[in-house]
Structure 1
Amino acid sequence: MRIVTILLSLSISLNVLAQDYKFGKISKEELQETYNPIDSSASATYLYKYRKTHFEYSEQEGFQLITEIHERIKIYNQEGFEYATKTISLYKNGSTDEEVSNLKAYTYNLVGGKIEDTKLEKQGIFKTEKSKYRNEEKFTMPKISEGSIIEYRYKIYSPFFSNVDDFIFQNDIPIKKLIAIFEAPEYFSFKLNVRGFLKMNQKKVNKNGSFNLGNDKIDFIKECYEYKLTNIPALIEEPYVNNINNYRLAVRYELSYTKFPNSTFKHYSSTWEDVVKTIYKNSNFGGELKKSGYYENDIDALISSVSDPMKKAFLIFDHVKSRVKWNGYYSKYTNDGVKKAYKDQVGNVAEINLMLTSMLRYAGLNANPILVSTRHNGIPLFPTREGYNYVITGIEVKDDVILLDATSTYSTINVLPFRTLNWKGRIIRESGSFSTIDLYPKQQSKNTTSMMINLLENGDIEGGFRSVKTNHDALRYRQKYNTANEDDFLEKLENKYEGLEISDFKVTNALNLSKPIMESYKFFKESQADIIGDKIYFSPLFYLRTNENPFKLEKREFPVDFGYPLSGQNRIIISIPEGYNIESVPKPKVVSLPDNLGTFKYNIVASENKIQFTLSSTLNSAVVSPVYYEALKEFFNQMIEKEAEQIVLTRI
């Protein structure tokens, strides 16, 4: 069987390499294909993916970065329709923009045994301004159906030669053939950084190039990198991945320096020290930290009678959170500036947290900005200014750094929004020194649940529920509850547990961030026990029972990222129906992960007509190495199996 699979893969690879992917040359065989022979679960497949990024010179524009794209996608079913929409992200800076040119796109269908093509018209292309620094061009291919092939090509002209978009070699769907080319003149020195777990071959050669400067012809050498890959598997995303793009096969070309004829070296980001200095010197970063006149009177009035430094910090933190609301924009640089943000009471991430840093310094605290890459932005493994897209505040005290983010209304000291819990940040001091800061919290977030349950003879249950949440669990609950209509919130809660009927719902400390948040309600739920003859069978967790292991892969290459350490406990007291005895209950059990990563404890104490059940679980690390994946998967398996064990009651 293995030999057959190898021969099949080899045959497909040879066919792929021999395939002609000239634009518009679609075969009936491609259109007749109903599934990917290597991955039959794929909803779509890149039949061909081509990208070439290179430099062109003109006397009017100088060097421009040109990216040519040609992609052909086969859509197998309706789930694959999402790949018929293409979004192109474009940089801009002031009046200088990246531009899309020569866009040509078709949808191909097999109709009556003949290939029918439908052209993308101009009215199907939409351009929008996403932010001060980003535009977006988007199109959806016409006449899509199951079995369609879409194909498009275009060029991006960019004046920003220091911003080379990553070459992505692995997607959420398979790729049959990929060709990628990067060419750079000798005047540009790039560092190459690779990420991902798949192996790939790179071909590097030097070629001759030239351009005209006035009446002179300038010859130069260009470095050329070429990648050819076939049958690249889809990257399957499992739960608890902080950003799947961190593990996708990709190559990044980071500009290190430029050296043009008759000019000096110009360095870009080649070391972390270069990156930090460049960011701090930017007028929209370090310059904004120096401004203080706009808030001094307010801060003096706020802390004039307070001597304790940390009380000052609390007061200033709350003042910024209540005064200036976040407009939803991420950035390490200010947009309109801290002064305007304070006056208008709205600002981006940098405006809010650089303002907070400045105020804390004014109050005498050792506060400094911390550069952060949010979870959706990925992990900055290599020195790059683009790797950081966010900034928070750190107060340095003896042997510790207190972390603050005033963009989140419900964030507290050392309880950052989930979006920022991503590996390490870099704290930048006024002196120019910097160091890395672990952004993952050490303190557990606790969720303690108490239930009093009456089990009725017909298998229904009724009773009272109460939960207490702390730290990040409390933050996330407040974000959901305080921003929702309570009726909608309750409806979602009832639907989550499929027919749970809730009454007397109450939330305590929804806005009091100094205390845990508490949720309580009375409930009724039908059919929570199986009645067979004169016996009743049920799980003591009832509707709270975990039914499915989130970890399904046999092997996992990337870490399991929970975001923060977790601690959960369920305390349940069950009153059994009159006329029944407790025949049997599951045995206690303790399961531990290696190296003190976590534990699971299950215990039941039965009396004459009551059952006291306790279930507790802890995960002591926010991130679990893939080395422990098999142990973690088995840990969850045993927990689920134990939760499924049943108590048996017998009619007297």
Structure 2
Amino acid sequence: MRSTLILFSLCFALTAFTQDYKFGKVSKEELQEKFNPLDSSASATYLYKYRRTFFEYIQSEGFRLVTDVHERIKIYNQEGFDYATEQIRLHKNGSDEEEINSIKAYTYNLLEGKIEETKLTKSGIFKTERSKYLDETKFTMPNIKEGCVVEFRYKILSPFFSNVDDFVFQYDIPVKKLDAIFEAPEYFVFKTNAKGFLSVIPKTETKRDKITFTSKSRSGNYVSNTSFHSSDINFTKEVSSYNLANIPALKEEPYVNSINNYRSSMQYELSYTKFPQSPVKYYSTTWEDVVKTIYKSSYFGEELNKTGYFKEDIDAIISSISDPMKRTALIFDFVKSKMRWNRGYGKYTNVGVKKAFKEHVGNVAEINLMLTSMLKYAGLNAYPVLVSTRQNGVPLFPTREGYNYVVSYVKFPQGSILLDATSKYSIPNVLPFRTLNWHGRVIAEKGGSTLVDLYPKQKSKDNISMMVNLNEEGIIEGSYRSVKTNHMALSYRQKYNKANEEDFLEKLENKYSDLEISDFQVKNKNDLSKPVIESYKFNKESQADIIGDKLYFSPMFFLKTVENPFKLDSREFPVDFGYPAATKYQIIIKIPEGYKVESAPEKVAYSMPDNLGVFKYNVSLSDNTMHFLIILEMNQSIISPTYYDALKEYFKQIIEKENEQVVLTKV
């Protein structure tokens, strides 16, 4: 169904569009529009999205890349206010940096039948340094109200002609009209890589252009005469144009690593340059080229070779230890205790490993390149691993921009482990959730590389046991205990250890709709060698329906799942759980005196094809006590969209079973 809608909407791509999108020509009809006719759920709509990226020749500098942007956005309600903020990333490298200029922006509101304009002033534009390699210019439009239209345009000047930002065609909100143009002189040869399920094909044509050179000369012995001369160099350029209309929004769905992986876009990658009277110069077109370029960087490979700043500390730690696994564990724990992550991402260091070590704080690269270097110094087969985080997307094509993170890889005769010292609660082969994104690229000393699967093979477990006393008024009281391992333990520790316990308890009680908790305890919150254990006593009212002389209740009470996360008729991209998991519930219910079990859910076992998932539900009775054992397993981190119907039905069956009721009747 979804694919049909997308193809149908693209049929409008080359049709005439009568709306005037000249900057400043916002109409009353646009301001009066209450919702998007093709998507009434949209909080905002791109009325017009324009981008032109082209090459401009500056005689004193050479070629530079220029991008013109013009956007007009309709905001229907408060949920759409976020689209009134524009954030522009500007790359830099040493003295070379991208610039933004010619920002012009207005907010339009309809006031008593007249269009009111509010201009964005310079004081509303902010520039922030994000890292050594990235700045950000940000502005939020003034006078934002429900029903307003915002419009802005600006120009980006870039010396990095090999780094063309992707042309994106699909967004989180619908687009009524999109025009995009990319122009490349014959001296620059690009290859294209398309991404996403919405197929877009450009119109390409060759045009003539020219570069005009000017020079001046002086003549005369006593009176200087200056004359100017100009000459032209003619060349051809390839122009790719995209003209689309009524592009549907790309909706967020549950269990997606990054929705950007599936967003329709076109990447222009510089393959080589060929200037007159100059040899052909090739750029990164293979992963081998990319890896060698990264490794040779002074902010990566050279940082790995620095050892003087940590020798004394590491010698003291491992001097009496010969076992490689124990050495690895000691160095890993040392870095985690020594360093604090500053939340900075990147494959390159910022201040450098030596300074970061001295100040006890660093970005991802500084901490994990430091860890890798220490492990190598200790005689271990350790290597850095390039990673693209879940939000950064999957690097489908060879590009240096595809990776934004580094972890460590250690190879042993019996296998290998992955380490990330930025997380205090991470253990070997249990990486932070943000890094669980398909494959990482292990880099060897000379720049060679191989892929490593970042998804864990070992299941994360949560064993839950609950003792429940149910009275004839439908009130339950009892005890709860949860034992979590691996990623489930990591996630729990991250949430609990950084929270105020009172606030944590309040959120827990609210999660289960006013559950009353007492005697709350957490064991092993910092002992990573053991599972984290959460326990408490509870009391909760209205957990059984009383009808006549009968009680009706779900034996999972407040723990039951009530809503299927998979609602779409079909799904075009994988379901990504991040890690395989198993949850086991052992629930013992003591029924009230004077009642007997009239009926109870039957034993069942469900499974998905190819053993992707297993659900077991067992029940037994003894005197006035009911015993339930419920097991839910997802055996794979990633579920292919070909299994989506089976997964959706699997969860439907589970939810129906968890909500089945026990019926008690008075004796």
Q: For residue 70 of structure 2, what is the aligned residue in structure 1?
A: 70
Q: Which runs of no fewer than 5 residues in structure 2 stay unpaired?
A: 216-230
Tell me if the contact between 2:12 and 2:244 (Cα under 8 Å) persists in the aligned partners: no
Cross-structure match for 1:25 = 25
Instruction: Choose which of 531, 543, 548 in structure 1 pairs with 2:563.
Output: 548
> After the TM superposition, which residues 24-423 of structure 1 pair with which residues of structure 2 at under 5 Å, given as runs?
24-215=24-215, 216-398=231-413, 400-423=415-438
* Paired residue type of 1:43: S
Dislocated runs of 4+, deviation >3 Å: 8-16, 213-216
Distance 1:406 1:214, change over 3 A: same
1:623 to 633, 638, 660: 638
Tell whether the 8 Å contact from 1:357 to 1:369 is kept in structure 2 after alignment. Answer: yes
- The structural deviation recorded for 1:421 is 0.4
In structure 1, C-alpha distance between the alignment counterparts of 2:373 and 2:78, rounded to whole Å: 53
Kept in 1, the 8 Å contact 2:185–2:235? The answer is yes
Q: 2:511 aligns with which of 496, 509, 514?
A: 496
Are residue 514 (structure 1) and residue 514 (structure 2) matched? no
Q: Deviations over 1:218-268 (max 9, x none)?
A: 222212111111110000111100000000001111222223333333332
Contact 1:76-1:146 within 8 A present in 2 as well: yes
* Corresponding position of 1:609: 624
TM-score by length of 1: 0.96
User: Following the alignment from structure 1 to structure 2, what is the Cα–Cα distance between the partners of residues 31 and 348?
Assistant: 46
> AA paired with 2:390?
R
Pairs aligned (count): 647
- Report the CA distance between 1:27 and its aligned residue: 2.1
- The question of whether the paired residues in 1 share the 8 Å contact of 2:327 and 2:378 is answered with yes
Deviation per residue, 1:158-217 (Å, 9 max, x gap): 112222111110001110111110111122222211100012231111112222344442
Contact 1:585 1:647 (8 Å CA) reproduced: yes
- Given that residues 9 and 38 in structure 1 are in contact (C-alpha distance below 8 angstroms), is that contact kept between their aligned partners in structure 2? no
Task: Say if 1:371 and 1:390, in contact at 8 Å, map to a contact too.
Answer: yes
CA-CA distance at 1:14 after TM superposition: 8.8
**Greater displacement, 495-504 / 259-268:** 259-268
Q: Which amino acid is 2:23 matched to?
A: F
Give the C-alpha shift of residue 9 in structure 1. 7.1
* Code of the aligned partner of 2:265: A
Distance, in Å, in 1 between the alignment partners of 2:13 and 2:382 is: 57
CA deviation digits over 1:39-63, x for unaligned, max 9? 1111111111100011111123321
SS in 1 for 2:371: helix
Q: Report the Cα distance in structure 1 between the residues aligned to 2:58 and 2:523, rounded to whole angstroms.
A: 66
Q: String of CA shifts for 1:469-524, please: whole Å, max 9, x gaps.
A: 00000011111111111111111111111101111111111111011110001111
Indicate the residue corresponding to 1:594 in structure 2: 609
CA change 1:11–1:411 in 2 (3 A) is closer
1:646 is matched with 661
Q: Which blocks of at least 5 consecutive residues in structure 1 are unaligned?
A: none
Whichever residue aligns with residue 339 of structure 1, its letter is K
Do the aligned partners of residues 399 and 388 (structure 1) sit closer, same or farther apart at CA in structure 2, a change above 3 Å counting? farther
Q: 1:154 corresponds to which letter in structure 2? A: Y
1:453 aligned to 457, 468, 478, which one? Answer: 468
Query: How far apart are 1:104 and its partner, in Å?
Result: 1.2
SS at match of 1:90: strand
CA contact (8 A) 2:14 2:244 kept: no
- What SS does structure 2 have at the residue aligned with 1:375? coil
CA displacement at 1:108 relative to structure 2: 1.7
Measured at CA, do residues 485 and 98 of structure 1 come closer, stay the same or move farther in structure 2, by a change above 3 Å? same
What's the TM-score once normalised by structure 2's chain length?
A: 0.94
Identity of aligned residues (%): 66
Farther-moved stretch of structure 1 (35-44 vs 233-242): 35-44
Residue 537 of structure 1 pairs with residue 552 of structure 2: yes
- Equivalence for 1:469: 484
Secondary structure (helix, strand or coil) at the match of 1:416 reads coil
CA drift at 1:11:
11
Residue 146 of structure 1, CA deviation: 2.1
* Residues 1:568 and 2:583 are matched in the alignment: yes
Deviations 1:608-638 (A, max 9, x none): 2111011111001001000000100110001
Say which SS state the counterpart of residue 431 (structure 2) adopts. Answer: coil
